Copies of this chain bind each other. A is one copy, B any other.
Amino acid sequence: MANSKLYKGSLQTIILNLLEKNDRMYGYEITQKVKDITNGELKITEGALYPALHKLEAEGFLDVQILKIGNRMRKYYKLTEQGSKETANRLAELEAFIKNMQFIVNPKFKIN
């Protein structure tokens, strides 16, 4: 199956929504979760993920908690209250985008 393209701008929406549903997650976990959910079609690269997490944190949408599991570090991210509101906004944006794309792509607009 072809590797589905990730539209630029959707990564933050993905992160926020996963955190809305999973309380807290760490970076690597997010990459695996997305791969699982999409049957390997979407692959979040680390070079995109970590900067995105840092940015969302800097904007006040995420809180971090660093844990040591065995001898290895994990940075758990969690939505702030503001982050939860932002998630709703991003979700609405995504739905509007999808709706608009379907209008544009839909054959019923073949006739002017």
Interface residues of A in 1-18 (CB under 8 A from B): 2, 4-10, 13-14, 17-18
Contact count band on A = 35 or more
A49 at the interface (CB under 8 A from B): no
Tell me which of B17, B100, B104 contacts A104 (CB under 8 A). Answer: B17
A103 at the interface (CB under 8 A from B): yes
A81 at the interface (CB under 8 A from B): no
Residues from chain B with a CB closer than 8 A to the CB of A17 are 104-105
Q: How far is the CB of A88 from chain B (nearest CB, A)?
A: 11
Residues from chain B with a CB closer than 8 A to the CB of A22 are 112
* Closest chain B residue to A7, Cβ basis: B7
